[in-house]
A and B are shown apart, each in its own frame.
Chain A
Amino acid sequence: MPAKKKFLTAIVVLTALWIAVAFVSVFSGIYDAGIIETVTGGDPLASTIFYKIRIPRVLMATIAGGTLAICGAALQALFRNPLASPFTLGISGGASLGAIIAMRTGLAAGFLGFSVVTIFAFVFSLLTMLFVYSVSRVGGIVATGRLLLAGVVMNFLYSAFILFVQFFSNFTESLQTLRWIMGSLDIVGYGEVWRTLLFALPGCLLLLSITKEMNLFGLGDDVASSLGVDVRKMEKEIYFATSLSAGAVISVTGPIGFVGLIIPHILRMILGVDNRIILPCSFLLGASFLTLADTVSRTLISPVEIPVGIITASIGGLFFLWLLIRTKKEVIV
């Protein structure tokens, strides 16, 4: 199938999937009135829950899931390695530490509110990425072992720092942070949705505009450059855009793991490896996946709500395990 037709077909199918998942999600929950009463306001409580909680939550899941998946796909192109993702590279850990420092030092409440947390998350993500990239690149090629090890090490370090901050927090703060680290989409109203979108959208659009360059980059620096790609510029754009958009998401939802790893992987198994198809589709499938995971987290043992990070990490862990077993006879990358 020509790339364009494949692209359009995939977009239509995945958009339909997202609509279906979003529809199920907004009508799932403990308080259940008829669809018509809920939407028209015939049942005021149901209506309030619907418009103030469930719709913002689905939007947040869509933005967060889509952004993390796109960032995963872009990082995989940059590192020329399908195991790169915000989570495995320690970028999520960096963003978390940045966000926690901003929250605990009172900068968040002090001025500008949310955006300081985001800026801290962004800066820490960026520094982590630059560090992991320089450490894992040997002679121009990213060594998978070094890459994953660098990511694991960064995650350990950030965990230690976060625990350090936790140790000096009081009980309430400490519990808040702990809940946040588990990864949750528990928001009320649209404020956080718009504030996340403000940073995530430009980042995602930038990444979507350089998908062709990402393909060419897969042929090596020299060939990409001989085909018209400004390689250094493309690298910088990916650093910047992924740190910005993943940082924005993580500073609100906490580190939600594995979305950026699994989603592009599944898509590549079905659609091939063309980034012009994989990146936009990653957004849609990531959005559906996280919305669905969030719905499960709210309804699995309702009325208790499990943080969605626990759901995605469980699914992600099992998926990774399956990948390891399946590819036992081949090389993992």
Chain B
Amino acid sequence: METIIECREVGFSYGPRRILGEITLSFGKGSMHGILGANGAGKSTLLKLLTGALRPEAGEVLYRGKPLRSFGQRAAARKIAYIPQDPVFAFPFTVTEVVLMGRAPYIGRFEFERESDLEMARRAMETVGISHLDKRLISEISSGERQLASIARALVQEPEVMILDEPATFLDIRHRSEIMNILKRLRDERGILIIAATHDIFGALYYFDEIIMIREGRVFAEGNVAEVVTGENLSALYGTGVAVRKEDGKVFVYQGD
């Protein structure tokens, strides 16, 4: 599998506080990686290192073999899209306007979007199923719909990689599966590498190919879902008893031993 992003011995601290250390990982094209870990384990920091928003203190993040920091910010924005957990929308832009902002890395200083950009935004809204919301204000729609708008915005960036920080944490079960299915489709149809932090163990089992477990700033376990997501690992990861049971091809996760 073609490697897109690689972390080599990456470390990071906020001031004197060590957040991440000795992270070595590699992410291949067209796969879906879930990052599990307790609150404060360093998941978000790792994602920000992968988007290039933060620079590693030690080691290096490589993009197709070249240091990520050697890319300009605009060049990186054409390759890596980022979707936060709870996106900020300070002003009531329309949904179409928000989606079009994903074209920013392709548009010059005093330019407006061309018809082709608008067409791309329309298609992205169609892909995530929010075409009917195009003229609505982002402040008026539900948080699930806002998350879909964020994904459409990320899509028009034409990225190779989409990095999501707990994309579905605040959503109900229907919206959660809708979003995960969309991500899965993007992986299959466009070969987009998807990296998402998540607290949703069920989702992790159903949707992801690879799981990375982060505990106290270190990689605690990684590998394919079936190998890594075990009761033993989860219990150690969260510091509370978690059991995984497989029955008739279905997986059950519950609290306890």
Contact = CB atoms under 8 A, between A and B. Distances in A.
A3 interface: yes
Contact of A226 (B53, B94, B109): B53
Interface string B99-134: 001101101011011010010000000000000000
A225 B73 contact: yes
A54 interface: no
A302 interface: no
A212 B76 CA distance: 18
A218 B102 contact: no
B90 A80 contact: yes
B107 A273 contact: no
B112 A226 contact: no
Contacts of A303: none
Interface stretch (B11-19, B80-88, B177-185, B249-257): B80-88
A218 B112 contact: no
A219 B89 contact: yes
Contact of B118 (A2, A141, A268): A2
B84 A273 contact: no
A32 interface: no
Given A2-B118, A218-B93, A274-B97, A226 B104 contact: no
A216 B104 contact: yes
Nearest to A230: B73
Contact of A81 (B90, B98, B105, B118): B90
Contact of B84 (A212, A223, A228, A229): A223
B73 A222 contact: no
A273 B91 contact: yes
A116 B61 CA distance: 49
Contacts of A230: 73
Given A212-B104, A222-B53, A274 B84 contact: no
Contacts of A218: 88-91, 93
Contact of B109 (A212, A220, A223, A272): A212
Given A80-B88, A222-B53, A228 B77 contact: yes
A146 B83 CA distance: 29
A222 B84 contact: yes
Interface string A72-97: 00000000111000000000000000
A215 interface: yes
B112 A4 contact: yes
Given A2-B112, A80-B90, A81-B90, A227 B80 contact: no
A314 interface: no
Contacts of A212: 104, 107, 109
Size class of the contact patch on chain B: 35 or more
Contacts of B73: 225, 228-230
A276 B103 CA distance: 15
B109 A227 contact: no
A51 interface: no
B67 interface: no
A220 B88 contact: yes
Given A220-B88, A273-B92, A226 B51 contact: yes
B31 interface: no
B147 interface: no
B48 interface: yes
A2 B121 CA distance: 13
A48 interface: no
B74 interface: yes
Interface in A196-234: 209, 212, 215-216, 218-220, 222-223, 225-230
A226 B115 CA distance: 24
A7 interface: yes
Contacts of A80: 88, 90-91
A139 B121 CA distance: 32
A220 B77 contact: no
Nearest to B73: A228
A272 B88 CA distance: 18
B157 interface: yes
A219 B87 contact: yes
A222 B77 contact: no
A268 B97 CA distance: 14
B53 A225 contact: yes
A228 B94 CA distance: 21
Contacts of B51: 222, 225-226
Q: Which 10 A-B pairs have the closest CB atoms?
A: A220-B88, A80-B90, A226-B82, A228-B77, A4-B112, A228-B74, A273-B91, A218-B90, A228-B105, A227-B104
26 contacts: A2-B113, A2-B115, A3-B97, A3-B112, A3-B113, A4-B113, A80-B88, A80-B90, A81-B90, A209-B110, A212-B107, A216-B101, A218-B89, A219-B98, A222-B48, A222-B53, A222-B82, A223-B83, A223-B87, A225-B51, A225-B73, A227-B157, A229-B104, A273-B92, A273-B93, A274-B93
Interface of B: 48, 51-53, 73-74, 76-77, 80-84, 87-94, 97-98, 101-102, 104-105, 107, 109-110, 112-113, 115, 118, 157
